[in-house]
Amino acid sequence: MFKNYIIAILVLLTLITNGCVILKNNKKQSKETHILMETSKGSITLKLYNETPLHRDNFIKLVNEKFYNGITFHRVIKGFMAQAGDPKSRDKSFAGQLGQNSEGETIPAEIIPNLFHKKGALAAARMGDNVNPEKKSSGSQFYIVQGRKYDLNQLSQMENQINQKAPHYQHQQEQFTFSDTAKKVYQQIGGTPFLDNGYTVFGEVIQGIEVIDAICDVKTERGNKPSEPVTILSVTIMK
């Protein structure tokens, strides 16, 4: 009898311990990661989405390795986005075309319907569909959306365009449509809706959106490269 009592107590303690570990892990996973990006145009605070763990963890890894420190925004288009993450952009003497190089391996796409390209969205750059039909993301290149506002008629046209681009097998499934939330945001705040369902959005700007506007407003030269470098001075994880 006493032996059975001891066994029951041990089993109960094991269950409690395992439960605490699970709760701790769930709490850790639910906690959002905030990133502070200091640029030559000002500070940007980013939030990484837990819904895209592969991209989140890869970005955190690169931040911890200080990979982005000294990288420049090599492609900037007003009313569209600012792109960075090419390791060659650190080299001022590099005469080749920026945007062709990345750090690490490609990342499987994590395209989540409710994570869309609103103004301030942080998304992963990638190679085109013709060479990358699986939409795998670059190992280090990202872009931050500036975008512009769109009306319902324009959004409807984009839905048709997105569905026309989809592979044949996808046409047999549910057609792509913007959510009511996305439509409202694109009308009132803006973004780049034509990129939805094609690129992984894995975070957003939560402070410093005016810095993105300032970056996108710089003068550019051939290849949409800023005439004067816009540099990422440092990127750190906020505690």
* Residues 43-90: tens digit of each pLDDT: 999 999 999 999 999 999 999 999 999 999 999 999 999 999 999 999
Q: What residue has token string 């512009």?
A: 148
Cα separation, 172 vs 167, whole angstroms: 10
Instruction: Tell me how many degrees the CA angle 17-19-25 measures, rounded to the nearest 5.
Output: 105
Q: What residue has token string 């989140």?
A: 56
pLDDT surpasses 80 at 96: yes
Residue 94 pLDDT: 87
Instruction: Count CB neighbours of 81 within 10 A.
Output: 27
Nearest to 127 by CA among 135, 119, 116: 135
Structure tokens, 209: 């959106």
Instruction: Tell me how many degrees the CA angle 230-88-117 measures, rounded to the nearest 5.
Output: 60
Cα separation, 91 vs 144, whole angstroms: 22
Structure tokens, 161: 């365009």
Average pLDDT over residues 179-204: 98
Rounded to 10 degrees, the C-alpha dihedral 108/112/116/121 comes to -50
Structure tokens, 144: 């931050």
Residue 21 pLDDT: 43
pLDDT surpasses 90 at 219: yes
Q: Whole-number mean pLDDT of the chain? A: 90
pLDDT surpasses 50 at 149: yes
- E strand intervals along 108-238: 121-124, 142-145, 201-207, 232-237
Nearest to 220 by CA among 79, 111, 94: 79
Q: Are strands 73-77 and 81-84 parallel, antiparallel or unpaired?
A: antiparallel
Cα separation, 104 vs 211, whole angstroms: 28
Cα separation, 237 vs 21, whole angstroms: 24
